[in-house]
Structure 1
Amino acid sequence: MIENIDKELIEIKTKINEKENLEHKLEAARLELQKLHAKKAGLKTQLLKEQKDVKSLEKLTLKSIWYSFIGSRNEKLRNEREELSKVEYEYHYLNDIINRLQSEIDYYIDKINNLKHLESQYETLLKQKETMIYNNNHELYEPLTKLNQEIINLEANIKEINEALIAGKEVINALEEIKKALNSASGWGTWDLLGGGLFSDLMKHSKLDEAERKIRDLQYLLNKYNRELKDINMHININLDISSTLKFFDFFFDNIFSDLMVHSKIQRALEQINNAYRIINNQLSELDIELKRNTYNIKQI
């Protein structure tokens, strides 16, 4: 009878720990979402300004007439359109991250709602167990309670480590896809430098466009991985500046960049991605060792 109660107590306590961890993740995700919305509001203001600047030059206004008079209207309009394109890209990129984070928050809320009323169930069972042990052999109560808590803690650690491993492997997969796209772009870029012509240039831009989309995913996955690491008191020590990596695509908006400069930017981006890959891969190896240690310990109890 006591064995059955112990088993049920462990199951419920594990779920209670899961609910508490979900609540911590929910709080962290909400704080991050709040910061992203503030950043989005600033970008929205900047976007409206850039749109206004472009329209004022496109239409027949005093501003456009003046620039036409001094002979720099076309250049000014081109620069303003480039600035508008950059801000539009950043705005839509940020909006995509916000939508994905909101989906994650909704998932946490749904999971937490499904784990309600566990505390009262746990307390009821615990009182039943206390009464049974005390009436039969109260000297066993303290060591058994301590043993159960140790099992609960180990199972909670195993669950959190597994979640961190899953999130980390998602980052690794994203980095591999980005490396693949950038390496392909680098190859086409080399061919372009050797006079490959329009086709090689188009292929290079196509692969860079693919890498750009995957870097969007990487930002979200890195943030998610960091939140999982916090649950097991770890952190990621990585010098990957996603914003500067994204600036690597500026040449899409600026015709003054030479093919050689583009090729150089590809190589610098690859260095950052490769460095991030090594760091996270090493960290996942450490997590795997910790998982095996916890699994071994729980089998010894």
Structure 2
Amino acid sequence: MKETMQERQMALTLLKNESNRITRRLADAEHRLQTATAERSRLEQKLTKEQRDVMQLGKFSFLNKLKELTGKWDQQMEKEIAEAAEAEIAFNEAQKHVDDLTEEVAQLKAASINPDYVHLQEDWDDFLHEKELWIRQNDSASQATLQKIADDRVRVRSMIREVKEAHEAGEKAIRTLDQAIDKLNNAEGLSMWDTFLGGGLLVSALKYSEVNSSDDLVHQAQRALRHYETELSDVQEAATASFEVNKNDIFTFTDLFFDNIFSDFAVHSRITEGKSKLNGVLQDVRHTQAQLNRKLEEAEAELESLSSEEKSILLS
């Protein structure tokens, strides 16, 4: 009877933990979606303004004609186009972020209506009532110890699951970071050739092709890191005072892309800067992955210890 009682408690507790985690994640994702949508609207307004400035400067006016004659029109147009391009890059990234979060919210809503969760609270209440009756009839020191072992086993298994999920997300983040860095390496080499050796039209075209394709890879890395951060938060939620993972504020991974893609020197500088930041984040992720591996080993060792303690009581 007691083994069945402990098995039921373990199964129900794991379900409750999973249901609570999904609920917490859904609320967090909905909040982040609301914030991201507002930011996208702000950037869309900024982009519209910058595009309007370019169009306005391109229209005929006596003032524009005067700027053209004095040589200031070209400088002003170059500045306006650069600002519009920067605003477009920021808006495109914001749109991708909103799309990602919309998909995440939809997936979490689907997960939250799992049939296993429908009557979970009722099942838990019924179990607690049965357990109370059983304890009143069978209470003993050994039973109290066995119950504590069962509770600890649920806690440790939950931690192991969270750590494994976080580690898997970290490995994906490492892969996407490696891909983004490789692409930036290519763009950096072409930029250096174009800037300092006069690579010509073909090299310029190849350089901007690498720059454009690296934009998507940087976004994929951002998305993977946000997911990694969520998984690490779950690890911290499941942690105890003796079992912590500190993220060390490594996830400030935003706005790495280029302010001005029209100047060779600026592009080369920003590519180098962006690659340096990506390498720094990559090292932080690998450090955190090593921490997770150590925590996983500790948790698995604790499970073995609990099993040994339980066996000792049952065979005594």
With the shorter chain as reference, the TM-score category is 0.7 to 0.9
- C-alpha distance in 1 between matches for 2:47 and 2:268: 30
- C-alpha distance in 2 between matches for 1:279 and 1:99: 27
Q: Which of 197, 200, 204 is the matching residue for 2:200?
A: 197
- C-alpha distance in 1 between matches for 2:113 and 2:76: 55
- C-alpha distance in 1 between matches for 2:41 and 2:21: 30
CA RMSD of aligned residues (A): 2.3
TM-score (structure 1 length as normaliser): 0.86
Say yes or no: does 1:270 pair with 2:275: yes
Structure 1 gaps, min length 5: none
1:210 maps to a residue whose letter is S
Contact 1:240 1:272 in 2 (8 A): no
- C-alpha distance in 1 between matches for 2:271 and 2:78: 25
- Provide closer, same or farther for how the CA distance between residues 59 and 205 of structure 1 changes in structure 2, counting only shifts above 3 A: closer
TM-score (structure 2 length as normaliser): 0.82
Output aligned runs, 1:162-241, within 5 Å: 162-192=164-194, 193-233=196-236, 234-238=246-250, 241=253
- C-alpha distance in 1 between matches for 2:185 and 2:49: 37
1:51 maps to a residue whose letter is Q
Say yes or no: does 1:11 pair with 2:22: no
Contact 1:188 1:204 in 2 (8 A): yes
- C-alpha distance in 1 between matches for 2:253 and 2:292: 24
1:293 maps to a residue whose letter is E
| SS of the residue 2:250 aligns to | coil
Aligned length: 290
Q: How far is the alpha carbon of 1:180 from its aligned partner? A: 0.8
Output aligned runs, 1:100-115, within 5 Å: 100-114=100-114, 115=117
Q: Which of 148, 151, 160 is the matching residue for 2:150?
A: 148
- C-alpha distance in 1 between matches for 2:197 and 2:162: 51
Contact 1:167 1:224 in 2 (8 A): yes
Q: How far is the alpha carbon of 1:240 from its aligned partner? A: 5.4
- Provide closer, same or farther for how the CA distance between residues 239 and 151 of structure 1 changes in structure 2, counting only shifts above 3 A: closer
Contact 2:83 2:260 in 1 (8 A): no
Q: How far is the alpha carbon of 1:175 from its aligned partner? A: 0.8
Contact 1:130 1:141 in 2 (8 A): no
- C-alpha distance in 2 between matches for 1:219 and 1:239: 9
Contact 2:247 2:288 in 1 (8 A): no
- C-alpha distance in 2 between matches for 1:48 and 1:172: 36
- Provide closer, same or farther for how the CA distance between residues 177 and 44 of structure 1 changes in structure 2, counting only shifts above 3 A: same
Q: How far is the alpha carbon of 1:78 from its aligned partner? A: 4.2
2:254 aligns with 242
Report % sequence identity. Answer: 24
1:54 aligns with 54
Q: Which of 284, 287, 290 is the matching residue for 2:295?
A: 290
Structure 2 gaps, min length 5: 237-245, 307-316
Runs of 4+ in 1 over 4 A off after TM superposition: 72-75
Deviates more, 1:65-74 or 1:13-22: 65-74
Contact 2:22 2:112 in 1 (8 A): yes
